[in-house]
Amino acid sequence: MSDNGTIEKEEIFSKVLRAGRRTYFFDVRATKANDYYLTITESKKFTNEDGSFHYKKHKIYLYKEDFAGFNEILQEMTDYILEEKGEEVISERHQKNFKKEYDEEKTAETASAANFTDISFDDI
């Protein structure tokens, strides 16, 4: 039994995709009628201030009657993202580094500008 009191079905076939702090589990399971369905679980690791950690999980149940529509829309969406933004990953971490570098450049420019002598046009 799982934590919420439901009986977990035996896994027929499984694959795991590890992606940094996230792990995706793809599991084929059987219904009571012995038909198959897919569960996709995202598990994300979070670290507490004391160094301990916990996981948050989100699960999608996908049944055969929905496969064609799901695949079609998933392919359309992933194609759209890659066409619009390319394969380069732009994460929050990259954004923070970019902002830090930008701020450092601006600080350097300001410091450089402060080295100029203040000239009054009345002096000319």
34: CATH:
3.10.450.700
pLDDT tens-digit readout, 48-104: 999 898 999 999 999 999 999 999 999 999 999 999 999 888 776 656 655 565 566
Bridge partners (DSSP) listed for residue 57? 43
At a CB cut-off of 8 Å and minimum separation 6, what does 28 contact?
11, 12, 13, 14, 36, 37, 38
Distance, in Å, from the CA atom of 77 to the CA atom of 80, rounded to the nearest integer, reads 5
Residue 122 lies in a domain: no
Residue 30 lies in a domain: yes
pLDDT value for 117: 57
Residue 1 lies in a domain: no
Residue 3 lies in a domain: no
Distance, in Å, from the CA atom of 82 to the CA atom of 50, rounded to the nearest integer, reads 39
Domain that holds residue 35: 11-112
CB 29 within 8 A of CB 37: yes
CB 11 within 8 A of CB 36: no
Closest CA to 45 of 72, 28, 23, 15: 23
Residue 104 lies in a domain: yes
pLDDT value for 1: 44
Q: For the chain, what is the domain count?
A: 1
Structure tokens at 55: 């996981």
Work out the mean pLDDT of the chain and round it to a whole number.
81
Compare 121 and 64 and report the one with higher pLDDT.
64
User: Could you tell me what percent of the chain has a pLDDT over 90?
Assistant: 52
Residue 55 lies in a domain: yes
> What is the rounded end-to-end Cα distance, in angstroms, of the chain?
88
Residue 83 lies in a domain: yes
Compare 107 and 31 and report the one with higher pLDDT.
31
Summarize the confidence of residues 3-17 as an average pLDDT: 72
- Where does the pLDDT of residue 115 fall: very low under 50, low under 70, confident under 90, or very high at 90 and above? low
